[in-house]
Each structure stands twice: as C-alpha cells, then as structure tokens.
Amino acid sequence: MFYTRLKTIRIVYVTAGLLAGLFLVSCERNKSTSPEARQRFEGIIPKPVSANMTGNTFTLTEDTKVVTSGSVEGVDNVARFLIDKLKPATGFNLEKSSDGKEGKNSILLSISKDAELGAEGYELTVSEDQIKITANSPVGLYWGAQTLRQLLPAEIENSKSAANASWEIATGTIRDYPRYSWRGSMLDVSRHFFGVEDVKRYIDLISLYKMNVLHLHISDDQGWRIEIKSWPNLANIGGRTQVGGGKGGYYTQEDYKEIVNYASSRHITIIPEIDMPGHINAALVSYKELNPGPSINREPASARPNRPVAGQVYTGTEVGFSTLDVRKEVTFKFVNDVLRELAAITPGPYLHIGGDEAAVTKKPDYIAFINRFKDIVKANGKRMVGWEEIAQGDVDSTVIVQHWHSQQYARMAAEKGAKLIFSPAQKVYLDMQYDSTSKLGLHWAAYIEVDSSYMWDPATRVDGIDASQILGVEAPLWSETVVTMDDIEYLVFPRLPGVAEIGWSKSDGRDWNEYKVRLANQAERWDVLDIDYYRSPKVPWDTSVDQQDNKKDTTSTASK
C-alpha cells in the first residue's frame, strides 16, 4: 500500500515536472508580447480599419527570408524595398526567395483576390513563425510594408549603422484599406527652390504615412523650375531667382524624370503645376512677348502704387499682379508647348494648371483661359486639375477642382459635376504658423495647431457636396518662409500624419484624444529619421513605456 502511494506521488511529481518543462519551452518559443511591441501595434498611423493582437511575438533574425508568391509585376520591387529598408539598422543580409513557400521565419508577400481590400488595401498577419502580407496589387503590399515598419522598433529607421535592438513584432492581424483614393501633399518649389534630393526625402516622409500624391508647384511669380526645351529662357532666366533674392534653380527634364521614377517606386503620383493665367511673372520676365498690354489690368497703377510691376524680376511675396493675355496668339503657343512637354515626361494622368488668385485678369478673359486650358490638357491625354477658382469655367466630371478657401466655388464645382480635392487653408496649409510664437510660417489663413489640423472631416466641410464627388485630401506647403529641408520638416511635422489619417481612415474611428497618444509615439521614430519636428504642447510627447511606468511608480509612491 505504502509502495503504491509512493509510486503514485513520484509519477505525479515527474509529470508535473515534465509539464513545467514543456510550459517553459512553450513560453520560450511563443514569447509573449512586450509592452513596447504592444504599444507599436496599437499606435499605427494612419489608423487601420481593424487591428487585433494575439499576445505573442515574432522576432526578425538574420535567417528571416522575404518570400514572394505569384508573378505579378511589381511584387519583387516591394520585396526589394523591404529588404533595403531593414538591412542598415539590423545588419541582416535578408535573403529573397520567389518560390512562394510559406516556410517558418519568413515574410511572405502574396497577391490575393479580396474585394473588400480594393486597389490599395492589405492584410498583414503576424504569427510566431511568419509574417504574411496579402493584397490585390503591389501598391497594397507596399502600404502593408510601411505598416510593418511601424510595428518594428524605431531603431529600424537608422540608415547609417546597425542598431542594438531586439526586432520584436507583436502577433496579430491588421486589415486595412483607404477611405479616399487621393491622399497627398503639395510642395512649393517656386518661392524657394528645393533640389532633387530634398524632394526625394519629402517623398519618403509622406509615403511612410501612406500618402500617394505629390503635387509640385513648379512655376510662380518668383521662379520657374522646369526645363522647357522649346522655351529655354523659362529655366535659364526665370529659374535664376526666388523669394528674398536667392539664386533659385530649376530641374532639367532628366532631373524631373528622376523625381517621377523615384516617386513611382514609392507608389506616389507626381502632379506638376504650371500656375496660369496669374502667378506667371517668371515667364513674363523670361519672354517679353508674353507680357500683356496695359489695358489688361483691371485697375490703374495709381490705385495701388506699391504693387509689383509685371514683367520685372520679383522676389517678394505679394500675389495677384501678373497675367497672360488671352488675345495674343503667342500666349497659347506658349501654353501648348509647356503642357505638351510636361505631359510627355509625366506618366501620371494629371496636369495642374493653377488658376488661383488671378486678380488682374478680367473675369471673361479668365473663363476663356480656363476653357482653353481644359482643351489643351485633354489634347495631351491628361486630366485637368486646378484651384477652386476654375469652377467659374466650363468644368465637368473630367475636371478636378482643389478647394482651398471658398465654399461657394466648391459648391459651384460640385454642381457642374467636377470632382473635388479638399485642402482647406484654415486646416491643412502646412505653411501656417502653429501659434504666434512659431519661428516659421505665415498666419493669413489661421494659426493652425496640430489638434485643429486633425479635427475636421472632408465629408462635412462644405454643405451640399455629395461624398461621391470627394476624391480626397491634400496638404499644401507654400514656401515663402521656407528655405531648408529642416524648415520644411518643422512645419510639416507633426501635422502631416494627421492629414494622412484623415485621407486614409474612417471618420467614425478618429478621435483627437486617442490620436494624440499615437502621434506622440511616433516621435522616437522621427528622432531616428532626423526629422526636425515641432514639439507641440498639444501632444503628450512622453508616452514611451518607460515614461508611463515612471509615472505609475510616482503616482503609486505619492498615494502612499
């Protein structure tokens, strides 16, 4: 009897020991989600449609493979982007395979047929053994790869040397797709010129937050920034100046193609803008025959004696003093040639003709201009985009109108069947100062703090516009006060990620108090990316896990 009991006790003891050992092995293999990995999973910007954690961890190692499945063109490019992005910080020479085998310790990129995901959506599934990104197209895989970047520690953004970090990713499933198809930013390279490398950096920064349009404002009163071979003085003379009297600059057509190709590799469409019939002084300086006669001006010179003189070099910031002449034959030879050459080197479907602030262009002439521009753009196989004032012309469903100020013009465009992009100056003009103490920017539209920039909805911004007519959002950065890349970053961050979320995420899932925490969690990543951002007092920047733990400890001690 005693022996039997002892044997039973020994069996129970040994069994318990084996179970404990198995439990330890299981925990070793299925490592639970760390607070840091959980925070990254919950902090993605733009906010996904759904994101559900499962409580474990995948760890990226030097043996991880990037595997592609299927033969759809462009999938390998996403794989290469991902490998190139992960290599510098990890030091891993990740292997790429095209065999489609779903092995352990792999990142699988696969084309699927999932109607809900649409053209740009993706599903990202992380298990202990594998990461799988599926999408209907390479662009969806690319956005999934951008989300994967945010799931990794911020040190993954270190492009200079290997970082000392544990490359842990929380397990779970993310399903995601955009609300709007047009999610963009505009960069004004006319008031101050920014070279090819600066534009490439800007492309990288906006693509991190799934923006897919870069609108380049490449001509204005202060400078002409694109080589036009049939009108060489536009660049050679018009490109020499900028606001404040600096040396200016311009893109050769090869430079421009390099920008376009780089943007394409990030699934971003470049939309060039030649601003007409106003904002055209750099062209008037370059070719005197484009200058209109004095009868074109609405008001005599004595009415505004300090107004800049059209046709003379101008490096200030006043607007609305220049115009083309609708009655001159050379005017439309110029317009035809410029748009023809630009269309030939722009693979995207759009040409932006400006059309704003044409203060000295008489209204009948202005309308005639817009109608002619529309025909010329169409003849070159493109779709016309213009600022909201173009709604006065014969716009229709083939035209895209960019709303920036006037609700009347926005409604007028909608009534004529045009599609709209929303760029309300009081919300998303990134060149506006944050407050009266801001070191850069202007405030003619408003002081725009980061919370104000986030708290609005395109669908309700203007009464009387059907949601189906809204293509999306675009955040312009005018460069009157912007000279360096650091200047750009200071005004763009932290506001741009919020605009990106407005364009991507459903409005009923957005809340400032929740978003500002996610935004604060991006700061560590921006530090590694060397982004010179504005530390808004509206954002609780100290939201790292360590800081939160310290706050809890302090609160606990104080309560005792």
- Catalytic annotation on 120? no
Instruction: Give the separation between CA 560 and CA 557, rounded to whole angstroms.
Output: 5
Predicted pLDDT of residue 544? 60
Asked if residue 340 and residue 417 are part of one domain, the reply reads yes
Asked if residue 243 and residue 213 are part of one domain, the reply reads yes
Task: List the CATH number of the domain containing 57.
Answer: 3.30.379.10
How is residue 294 annotated by DSSP?
G
Question: Around Cβ 483, how many Cβ atoms within 10 Å?
Answer: 17
- 546 half-sphere exposure, CB direction, 13 A CA radius: 1
Give the domain extent around 153: 35-176
Say yes or no to pLDDT of 347 above 50: yes
Whether residue 446 is contained in a domain is answered as: yes
Residue of 242 and 13 predicted with greater confidence: 242
Whether residue 319 is contained in a domain is answered as: yes
In this structure, the dihedral spanned by the alpha carbons of residues 84, 85, 88 and 91, taken in order and rounded to 10 degrees, is: -80
Tokens, residue 479: 């460069």
> What value, to the nearest 5°, has the Cα angle with vertex 105 and ends 103 and 106?
65
Instruction: Give the separation between CA 95 and CA 102, rounded to whole angstroms.
Output: 14
Asked if residue 273 and residue 153 are part of one domain, the reply reads no
Predicted pLDDT of residue 69? 87
Asked if residue 230 and residue 135 are part of one domain, the reply reads no
Tokens, residue 347: 């693979």
Averaged pLDDT, 397-426? 98
Asked if residue 96 and residue 223 are part of one domain, the reply reads no
Given a contact cutoff of 8 angstroms between Cβ atoms, the answer to whether 243 and 480 are in contact is yes
Nearest to 527 by CA among 40, 146, 155, 37: 155
Domain boundary among 176, 210, 235: 176
What's the predicted TM-score (pTM) here? 0.91
Predicted pLDDT of residue 6? 38
Most distant CA atoms of the chain, gap in Å: 121
Whether residue 440 is contained in a domain is answered as: yes
Say yes or no to pLDDT of 135 above 60: yes
Per the DSSP assignment, residues forming a β-bridge with 57 are 170
Whether residue 15 is contained in a domain is answered as: no
Given a contact cutoff of 8 angstroms between Cβ atoms, the answer to whether 152 and 169 are in contact is yes
Instruction: Give the separation between CA 423 and CA 340, rounded to whole angstroms.
Output: 27
Give me Rg for the CA atoms of the chain. Answer: 28
Which amino acid belongs to residue 69? S
Residue whose pair of structure tokens reads 């213009």 in the numeric block: 386
Whether residue 187 is contained in a domain is answered as: yes
Task: List the CATH number of the domain containing 352.
Answer: 3.20.20.80
Distances (CA, A) of 408 to 99, 291, 395, 462: 56, 31, 15, 9
Weakest mean pLDDT among 65-79, 376-390, 392-406, 465-479: 65-79
Residue of 40 and 294 predicted with greater confidence: 40
Domain boundary among 146, 176, 206: 176
Predicted pLDDT of residue 234? 98
Asked if residue 410 and residue 381 are part of one domain, the reply reads yes
Q: Which helix (H) or strand (E) holds 227?
A: none
Predicted pLDDT of residue 85? 97
Tokens, residue 29: 């293999």
Asked if residue 432 and residue 333 are part of one domain, the reply reads yes
Say yes or no to pLDDT of 547 above 60: no
- 77 half-sphere exposure, CB direction, 13 A CA radius: 15
Asked if residue 187 and residue 145 are part of one domain, the reply reads no
Instruction: Give the separation between CA 65 and CA 42, rounded to whole angstroms.
Output: 26
Pairing of strands 122-126, 130-135: antiparallel
Asked if residue 159 and residue 189 are part of one domain, the reply reads no
Per the DSSP assignment, residues forming a β-bridge with 269 are 213
Instruction: Give the separation between CA 104 and CA 106, rounded to whole angstroms.
Output: 5
Asked if residue 413 and residue 314 are part of one domain, the reply reads yes
Whether residue 310 is contained in a domain is answered as: yes
| Conformation bin of residue 144: beta by default, left when phi > 0, alpha when psi is -120 to 50 | alpha
Task: State the pLDDT confidence band at 319, using cuts at 50, 70 and 90.
Answer: very high
Say yes or no to pLDDT of 428 above 60: yes
- 3-state SS, 340-405, equals HHHHHCCCCCEEEEECCCCCCCCHHHHHHHHHHHHHHHHHCCCEEEEEHHHHHCCCCCCCEEEECC
Whether residue 29 is contained in a domain is answered as: no
Question: How many residues does this entry show for the chain?
Answer: 560
How is residue 292 annotated by DSSP?
P
Pairing of strands 106-111, 65-69: parallel
Averaged pLDDT, 305-332? 94
Q: Which helix (H) or strand (E) holds 457?
A: none
Query: Per residue in 462-513, pLDDT tens?
Result: 999 999 999 999 999 999 999 999 999 999 999 999 999 999 999 999 999 9
Query: Per residue in 189-245, pLDDT tens?
Result: 999 999 999 999 999 999 999 999 999 999 999 999 999 999 999 999 999 999 999
Domains in the chain: how many in total?
A: 2
Domain boundary among 176, 192, 224: 176
Asked if residue 290 and residue 143 are part of one domain, the reply reads no
Residue of 70 and 11 predicted with greater confidence: 70
Given 128, 357, 480, 524, the catalytic residue: 357
219-245 residues labelled b (16+ CB within 10 A) or e (exposed): bbbbbbbbbbeebeebbebbbbbbbee
Question: Does the CA dihedral 164-29-42-88 come out positive or negative?
Answer: positive
Asked if residue 208 and residue 146 are part of one domain, the reply reads no
Whether residue 211 is contained in a domain is answered as: yes
What backbone phi and psi angles, to 5 degrees, belong to 386? Answer: -155, 160
Nearest to 381 by CA among 416, 347, 418: 347
